[in-house]
Copies of this chain bind each other. A is one copy, B any other.
Amino acid sequence: MALAPRWKSALAKAIEKDGKAAVFQLASIDSATNTPRVRSHIHREFISAQATPSLPILVTTTDIRTPKAAQILSNPTIETVFWVEANQEQYRIIGNASVIPTPLHPYHAQFDPFRGPALTALEREGIDWEAKRTQIFDSMSGHMKASWCRPPPGIKLEGGYEEAKKWPQKLPTFSDVESEEDKNILELALSNFALVVIDPFEVDFVELGIVPNQRTKFTRQEGNWVEEIVVP
């Protein structure tokens, strides 16, 4: 059975060694204006089906109310880039992205669980996305969780920062909830929280920490990755 691809092992190791390497940038297209958009994200985990360890999916999270959710729905091919300062490594990962909100959100009907082969394999093994979404949400810091019960990100902040001081700054975990009010706020935050999963099909891995520099292009073919050495 095919093993995890070399780019995935290297990236996972870099993130394990230094949490700062988990920050990456995700680029999408705003179709309305035909402009590229890009913002920083935090990588949460790799998942792969037991049947296809060579096909890892990248999991990150978002607020379902941000423009990128609509952008990804309208054009699911995205590119992400990880710059690992400590190793002088760059990983550019092109893939199909899917947004997975609460099943109650209208966007949920547009989630295609068979968009790519890795997603399809996970679906066949019966992955419970709603359980995964809740688990990742609950594992986040109280401060992060509080960010999903604010007004929609990017809209004008009526009342300025004085208004912002009134927002909850920290939410508990579900097991630590003590009041009905806390529970409602937590449910509100969870209702705005969505997973973004990326099923990669091309990876450009540049290693600038070694001389001569190395660069490898990985292309997914029939459940395996073909490597080509290219000019850095």
Contact A90 B40 (CB under 8 A): yes
Judge whether A36 is part of the interface by a CB distance below 8 angstroms.
Answer: yes
| Contact of A184 with B by CB under 8 A | no
A interface residue count range (under 10 / 10 to 19 / 20 to 34 / 35 or more): 35 or more
| Set of chain B residues within 8 Å of A92, measured between Cβ atoms | 38-39
Docked-complex contact B23 and A83, CB < 8 angstroms: yes
B231 touches A154 (CB 8 A): yes
When the two chains form the complex, which single residue of B35, B160, B229 contacts A79, counting CB atoms closer than 8 Å? B35
Given the complex of chains A and B, what is the CA–CA distance between A28 and B29 in angstroms?
Answer: 9
A39 pairs with B81, CB closer than 8 A = yes
Q: How far is the CB of A65 from chain B (nearest CB, A)?
A: 10
Is the CB–CB distance between A232 and B147 below 8 Å? yes
Q: How far is the CB of A177 from chain B (nearest CB, A)?
A: 22
